[in-house]
Amino acid sequence: MNNKQLIQHKAFSNRTGNNRTRSVTGKFSQSGFTLVEIAIVLVIIGLILGGVLQGQVMIENAKFKRFVKEIDSYRAAYHTFQDTYRGLPGDLASVAALDAAATAGNGNGQIVSGYCGTNNEEACLVWSHLRYAKLIAGDPTLTDAAARPSHPYGGPVSSIAYGNWGNGVQENKLMLQTVPGEIAQRFDNEYDDGDATSGNVGRIGGAGATYNPNGTVNVAVTM
């Protein structure tokens, strides 16, 4: 091999070697994650998911607490009204102490009509009387279904009315509609006897001692 051939051979070798180096370098630069990197990513994902789930639990617990607090507030308003005005909200016959514009009930000691639906029926006047007495928030001039407040799960707190719903006992009860079954069961478990047909918390309609966790139910709470 003469000098010219030797120089060409070295140049060719250098070019080939450099290409291989670049190829090898390129391969390393495009390699996947190491096991340590994958493990770190999985840990981070797990922490994020755990935080999201914990956050959802906290939100649901806060919502349930609001639900319980609202029920307690309506019961307290009912009893405060009774002590103050010597009558029942919705049933009170002498409403002069409330407001000249208030509509009177019949004063028979029972809040009639069941669910609030018709204008000026006592089950709707409940909310008007409690609002005129400034015991709950809202417009006291509303005396039909529009007067109903709503609970945190979106359904109406229909009325306070006299009947045997839930436990078979004739008494004045707070009537809540469209409550998630699992929430009704939790409320009954934690604040009553856990039975949908007895105690101070019960299901309106339906059958069986438990609440359907996959649907919504109407609930009666003894005042």
pLDDT, tens only, 84-122: 999 999 999 999 999 999 999 999 999 998 999 999 999
**What percent of the chain has a predicted confidence (pLDDT) above 70?**
86
Position 31 confidence tier, pLDDT thresholds 50, 70, 90? low
C-alpha to C-alpha distance for 126 and 149, rounded to whole angstroms? 11
Domain ranges of the chain: 1-31, 67-222
Lowest mean pLDDT among 36-50, 126-140, 153-167: 36-50
**213 within 8 A of 179, measured Cβ to Cβ:** no
Q: What is the pLDDT of residues 147-169, one digit of tens each?
A: 999 999 999 999 999 999 999 99
C-alpha to C-alpha distance for 57 and 63, rounded to whole angstroms? 10
Predicted pLDDT at 83:
97
DSSP 89: T
